[in-house]
Amino acid sequence: MPEFLRLLAAVQQSHLENLCEANKQHVRCQKCLEFGHWTYECTGKRKYLHRPSRTAELKKALKEKENRLLLQQRESGRERERETST
């Protein structure tokens, strides 16, 4: 019986290893941003990825919100003009 358990464990281990290798196709390295390997396996150079600062993102969101409010105010003003002109 113990031999059967050892054989079963070996089969399960090899199955898990095969699954991990298959999943590498969908893995993106965080260092070079390429697919197919983990970061610790990477031999490439780190790529610089420009990202806007948090302050810039917040300012952009605030500006978009203000623009939406202005558009809503203009549309409601136009509707009032139409109601009063008829």
Rounded to whole angstroms, the Cα distance separating 54 from 85 reads: 47
What pLDDT, on the 0 to 100 scale, is given for residue 59?
97
**Predicted confidence (pLDDT) at residue 72 exceeds the cutoff of 80:** yes
Chain Cα centroid distance, residue 42: 21
Q: What is the pLDDT of residue 78?
A: 84
Contacts by residues 52-55 (CB-CB < 8 Å, ≥ 24 positions apart): none
1 has pLDDT over 60: no
Q: What is the pLDDT of residues 25-70, one digit of tens each?
A: 889 999 999 999 989 999 989 988 889 999 999 999 999 999 999 9
Q: Supply the pTM of this predicted model.
A: 0.43
Burial 36-61 (b: 16+ CB within 10 A, else e): ebeeeeeeeeeeeeeeeeeeeeeeee
Highest-confidence segment of 12-16, 17-21, 28-32 = 28-32
